[in-house]
């Protein structure tokens, strides 16, 4: 028996989908406005009424058990036991002029009414559809009464349409559970790897979370993916493999392919950003500008079936080929096909970002496993997800282009006027403001103007789409902001900023969407720090593993005679290049040298070229494309080449890169990688000073984490051998020393060039 869970809303939308994609005015209602409108109606229900009542229903057909779920907005039972359910719909369209509810809204209410009536043996039930405009709180109610048998017949017809399609899909996926049950771990277990697998499985069975520190070479990806697959056998559950960089997606896909070569039969989709997969020169999601948007929903069901029939690993290239052949949007295709996949490989933001997250999954309950790769990045990414800004220059540019649209032109002008007033508050570069400032009222006024315009005209002027989306994001996050946020105006950049100092509470809330979250990285030390900033809870599990490799395979040298504090680093460039040259010429091979910033890297690179020439050197550039990054990595081969790459700490080449064997035999890490002192970092320090760890949280741990990641590039397998050079006096100081020794206990400390050369040669 195959189990399949789906929300009522998703089922109805899938069965009755049709027409075009049209995002010219996406989201007439912001999420929080919709919630507030729902709550406004619910507060007026009176005593005895219930709100947000969960209902479910199971239908079995052939070998499929379909589990439907949903929530009733309002439930009333009067003195005569007459039952009425209310379905609330928020819209800024003209409500008074509505003559009847939308068919799809009424059908959704009928489903909920039937599910409640069936659960509670009710023969007759009434249905209300309440429309509300969140701007002026205008409401209009449509009422109907049905016999439960009548509802059952109508609901069953819709369910059968869905089940018929589902049976077609399941005929393709019929070997999934059997393949998982017969699946064996594809390699001999490395040291400690079996314990990782056991602890991940235990965590999943207990529906808890796990913070897993597993050093480089532990085989983390397979160690978390294998038990997760074992867990979902026989269940209607999905695995979300979440990454912060594209290279991690590739590693996840490779792990799935390894398991597939050993008998696994599951469907996997890799979801990439819309901007990366769009087949047009410009992203413009509407039927007038994009042929891939026209008739999308009329075509999609058959395309999904064909695509699943022919592919187990659904990559960007596979999606693009089908999208081009059938003239459908590749991004929406990847989202829609994910509904029928077992593993979804995607960026963090699809599960953690309040604006970009998967609404199709997380608005209703489901059994989802979050595998959070390189979890040391989650907190910083989380802060970014809950931060936003509005650049005055962009606002003025957009305003200049919409002079003929008076209401929109005027409302943008009011935001600009508010920003001008802030700029005059004081003579500082940074002006802090609070949530009661006039500028936030002007932003709300702009959003109301947009609503009114869109109701009248159906879409916004194309020339203001970008600024609308920018202000929309700011507006949404402004409503979510709490004590962990700050508002300020940066006069040097003419930018209004909303900055999140601590996203841990939001991340914790997002993890509640999962039945279990496994957060893993080679650098989750100190674990209490990473749990604190990443949404960890007191009852979460923690596992810290030792390296599975022989320590003797990696020679670690700390050059402690070179001062690299921000004020002194430029004076040390001549020493730095001599140490880099010594390492790279001591043994011919491929090396990487990592630097704290791209500016300092360029200075050292120029000095190195001047002194030693540029033969066999490559340099990371700002804003490299995926193809350029791939070409950069491809330079590292095992053909006996001698290469030295200059790259940035914390960048795309400092983590999630596997250059095994002779492809990389050494790394040089310059500085302890502390973030640059700035206003936001200092506010972070002040925020965490209350907990006694301001400098550590704002600077130390983040910098040292970059060091651990970069140093971890050298030894990737049990056969790898190499050298790691750490350059900075601070590697011999207090917490810097303690943290680096936890990762590399056998560090050799040197205090002069001759001593360094001798240690290098020993």
DSSP state of 216: T
The CATH 3.90.320.10 domain(s) of the chain lie at: 2-172
Cβ 720 vs Cβ 661: under 8 Å: yes
pLDDT above 60 for 31:
no
What count of other Cβ atoms lies within 10 Å of the Cβ of residue 55? Answer: 22
Residues 6+ apart with CB under 8 A from 326: 299, 303
Can you count the helices (H) and strands (E) in the chain? Answer: 29, 25
Looking at the predicted structure, is the pLDDT value of residue 259 above 90? yes
Residues sharing a CB contact under 8 Å with residue 424, sequence separation 6 or more, in sequence order: none
H or E, element range at 7: strand 2-7
Give tens-digit pLDDT for 312-370. 999 999 999 999 999 999 999 999 999 999 999 999 999 999 988 888 888 766 799 99
* Buried-state track 399-416, b at ≥16 Cβ within 10 A, e below 16: beebeebeebbebbebbe
Digit-coded pLDDT (tens) for 701-724: 999 999 999 999 999 888 899 999
Of residues 609, 590, 576, 617, the one with CA closest to residue 725: 576
Between helix 438-457 and helix 406-423 the angle, nearest 10°, is 170
Distance between CA atoms of residues 26 and 46, nearest Å? 34
Q: Where in the chain is the domain with CATH 3.40.50.300?
A: 551-761
pLDDT band at 728 (very low <50, low <70, confident <90, very high): very high
Q: Does 700 score more than 80 pLDDT?
A: yes
Kindly state the average pLDDT of the residues 455-480.
Answer: 87
pLDDT, average across residues 411-431: 96
Least confident segment among 3-17, 390-404, 412-426, 563-577: 3-17
Q: Cα separation of 156 and 115, whole Å?
A: 11
Average pLDDT over residues 414-420: 97
Average pLDDT over residues 96-121: 93
User: pTM for the whole thing?
Assistant: 0.90
Angle (nearest 5°) at CA 34 between 33 and 38: 115
Q: Number of C-alpha atoms within 13 angstroms, CB side, residue 308? A: 29
Q: How many residues does the chain have?
A: 762
Strand partners, 141: 130
pLDDT of residue 28: 39
Pick the CATH number of 388-500 from 3.30.200.20, 3.40.190.10, 3.90.950.20, 1.10.275.40: 1.10.275.40
- Which residue would you say has higher pLDDT here, 580 or 41? 580
| Sign of the C-alpha dihedral computed for residues 206, 254, 595 and 583 taken in this order | positive
CA 433 to chain centre: 29
Domain 551-761 has CATH 3.40.50.300: yes
CATH for 2-172 is 3.90.320.10
Of 83 and 216, which is predicted with more confidence?
A: 83
Say yes or no to pLDDT of 249 above 80.
yes
Mean pLDDT along residues 653-659? 87
* Residue 714: CB atoms within 10 Å: 23
Bond before 526 cis per omega within 30 degrees: yes
pLDDT of residue 34: 64
Least confident of 283-297, 328-342, 450-464, 616-630: 450-464
Percentage above 70 pLDDT, the chain: 98
Average pLDDT over residues 729-750: 95
Place of tokens 């504090």: 565
Where do we find the tokens 């402004």? 478
Confidence of residue 25 (pLDDT cuts 50, 70, 90): low
Residue 24 has what pLDDT?
66
pLDDT digits (tens, 9 = 90+) for 508-518: 999 999 999 99
């Amino acid at each position: 028996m195959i189990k399949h869970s789906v929300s009522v809303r998703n089922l109805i939308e899938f069965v009755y989908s049709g027409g075009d994609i049209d995002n010219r005015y996406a989201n007439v209602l912001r999420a929080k406005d919709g919630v507030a409108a729902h709550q406004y109606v619910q507060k007026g229900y009176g005593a005895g009424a219930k709100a947000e009542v969960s209902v479910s229903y199971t239908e079995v057909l052939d070998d499929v058990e379909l589990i439907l779920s949903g929530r009733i907005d309002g439930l009333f039972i009067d003195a005569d036991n007459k039952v009425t359910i209310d379905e609330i719909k928020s819209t800024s369209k003209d409500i008074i002029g509505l003559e009847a509810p939308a068919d799809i809204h009424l059908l959704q209410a009928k489903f909920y009414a039937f599910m409640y009536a069936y659960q509670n043996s009710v023969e007759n039930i009434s249905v209300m559809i309440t429309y509300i405009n969140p701007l002026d709180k205008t409401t209009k109610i449509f009422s109907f009464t049905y016999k439960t048998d009548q509802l059952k017949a109508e609901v069953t017809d819709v369910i059968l349409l869905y089940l018929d399609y589902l049976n077609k899909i399941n005929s393709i996926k019929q070997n999934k559970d059997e393949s998982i049950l017969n699946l064996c771990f594809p390699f001999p277990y490395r040291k400690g790897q079996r314990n990782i697998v056991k602890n991940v499985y235990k965590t999943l069975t207990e529906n808890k979370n796990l913070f897993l520190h597993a050093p480089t070479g532990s085989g983390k990806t397979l160690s978390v993916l294998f038990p997760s697959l074992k867990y979902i056998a026989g269940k209607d559950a999905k695995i979300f493999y979440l990454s912060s960089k594209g290279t991690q997606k590739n590693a996840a896909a490779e792990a799935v392919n390894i398991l597939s070569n050993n008998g696994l039969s599951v469907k996997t989709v890799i979801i990439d950003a819309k901007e990366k997969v769009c087949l047009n020169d410009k992203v413009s999601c509407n039927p007038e500008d994009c042929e891939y948007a026209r008739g999308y929903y009329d075509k999609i069901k058959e395309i999904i079936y064909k695509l699943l029939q022919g592919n187990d690993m659904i990559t960007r290239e596979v999606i693009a080929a089908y999208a081009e052949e059938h003239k459908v949007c590749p991004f929406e295709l990847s989202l829609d096909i994910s509904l029928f996949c077992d593993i979804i490989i995607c960026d963090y933001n699809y599960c953690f970002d309040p604006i970009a997250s998967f609404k199709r999954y997380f608005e209703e309950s489901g059994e989802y496993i979050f595998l959070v790769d390189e979890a040391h990045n989650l907190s910083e990414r989380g802060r970014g997800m809950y931060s936003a800004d509005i650049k005055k220059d962009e606002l003025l540019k957009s305003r200049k282009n919409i002079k003929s649209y008076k209401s929109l032109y005027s409302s943008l002008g009011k935001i600009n006027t508010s920003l001008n007033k802030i700029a005059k508050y004081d003579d500082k570069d940074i002006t802090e403001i609070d949530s009661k400032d006039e500028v936030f009222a002007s932003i709300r006024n702009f959003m109301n103007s947009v609503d009114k315009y869109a109701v009248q005209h159906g879409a916004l002027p194309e020339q203001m789409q970008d600024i609308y989306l920018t202000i929309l994001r700011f507006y949404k996050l402004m409503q979510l902001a709490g004590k962990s946020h700050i508002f300020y105006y940066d006069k040097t950049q003419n930018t209004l900023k909303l900055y999140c100092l601590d996203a841990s509470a939001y991340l914790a809330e997002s993890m509640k969407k999962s039945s279990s979250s496994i957060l893993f990285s080679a650098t989750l030390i100190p674990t209490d720090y990473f749990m604190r900033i990443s949404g960890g809870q007191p009852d979460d599990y923690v596992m810290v593993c030792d390296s599975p490799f022989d320590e003797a395979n990696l020679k670690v040298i700390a050059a402690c005679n070179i001062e690299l504090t921000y004020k002194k680093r430029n004076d040390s460039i001549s020493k730095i290049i001599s140490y880099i040259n010594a390492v790279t010429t001591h043994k011919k091979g491929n090396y990487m040298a990592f630097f704290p910033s791209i500016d300092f890297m360029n200075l050292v690179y120029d000095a190195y070229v001047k002194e030693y020439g540029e033969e066999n050197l490559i340099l990371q550039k700002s804003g490299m494309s995926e193809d350029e990054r791939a070409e950069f990595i491809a330079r590292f081969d095992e053909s006996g080449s001698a290469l030295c790459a200059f790259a940035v700490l914390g960048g795309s080449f400092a983590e999630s890169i596997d250059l095994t064997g002779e492809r990389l035999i050494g790394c040089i890490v310059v500085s302890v990688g502390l973030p640059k002192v700035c206003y936001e970092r200092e506010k972070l320090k002040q925020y965490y000073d209350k907990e006694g760890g301001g400098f550590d949280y704002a600077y130390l741990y983040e910098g040292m984490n970059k060091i651990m990641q970069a140093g971890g590039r050298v030894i990737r397998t049990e056969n790898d051998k190499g050298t790691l050079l750490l350059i900075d006096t601070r590697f011999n100081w207090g917490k810097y020393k303690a943290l680096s020794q936890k990762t590399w206990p056998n560090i050799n400390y040197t205090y002069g060039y001759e001593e360094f050369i001798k240690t290098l040669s020993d």
